[in-house]
Amino acid sequence: MTAVFEFEHVRVRFDEHEALRGIGLAIEDRRVTVLTGPSGSGKTTLLRLCNRLEVPTSGRVTFRGTDLSSLDPLGLRKRVGMVFQRPALFAGTVRDNLAAALPAEDSIYEEVLARVGLQSASLDNLGDTLSGGEAQRACLARTLLTDPEVLLMDEPTSSLDERATRILEELATDLVRQGLTVVWVSHDLAQVRRIAEETVVLIDGSIVTGEPASRYLARDS
């Protein structure tokens, strides 16, 4: 498999706190890679490095072989989209939200809504009238309009019910089958077992493997 991201001796420090400690990692293309570990272990920091929402204190991150520091952040974020922990729709209708990502005809919006399992009638719905699961899928649709190569998912189901969670998980795996790469942060070990093709366990800012990783993954969620 081809590495889409490579981390080389990456450290991230916030004041006196070292969030990541010498990370070395390759994330493969066209797979669901799940970053898991206890709260505060560095999962989200590692994810945010992938589209330059964070930058390394030392070391480097590459995207398809190119150092991220040499790439335009806005251009990178079109190629590497992100869905956050809580749905973040702007004021206005679903159509307004989609137009913020890409001004287009309704037929384009209807197509991307269909990809995430929403009806075309949703275009006229106000964002604050959607359920949590619908809002998260609308956020995903908005991200997909930029035609990303990679989706970064930062605990996107943490505030959703079981049905909405399973729908989003299935959408992610379908998108990988369509050629995307998904990097998903989760502390839910049952979810990790359901969706991960590759699992990266972080504890105290470091990647652990072997027995420590197996012991962590064997815990109940």
SS3 readout for 138-185 = HHHHHHHCCCCCEEEEECCCCCCCHHHHHHHHHHHHHHHHCCCEEEEE
Claim: this prediction has a pTM higher than 0.85: yes
In DSSP terms, 3 is beta-bridged to 28
Judge whether 27 and 34 are in contact, CB under 8 Å.
no
Question: How confident is the model over 19-39, as pLDDT tens digits?
Answer: 999 999 999 999 999 999 999
Q: How far is 93 from 106, CA to CA, in rounded Å?
A: 13
Q: How far is 11 from 13, CA to CA, in rounded Å?
A: 7
In this predicted structure, what is the pLDDT of residue 135? Answer: 92
Query: Which of these, 160, 194, 196, 183, lies nearest to 83 by C-alpha position?
Result: 183
In this predicted structure, what is the pLDDT of residue 65? Answer: 95
| Cα of 94 vs its chain's centroid, Å | 21
Residue 221 pLDDT exceeds 60? no
Q: How far is 35 from 153, CA to CA, in rounded Å?
A: 10
Domain boundaries, the chain: 3-217
CATH number of 3-217: 3.40.50.300
In this predicted structure, what is the pLDDT of residue 101? Answer: 93
Residue 154 banded pLDDT, cuts 50, 70, 90? very high
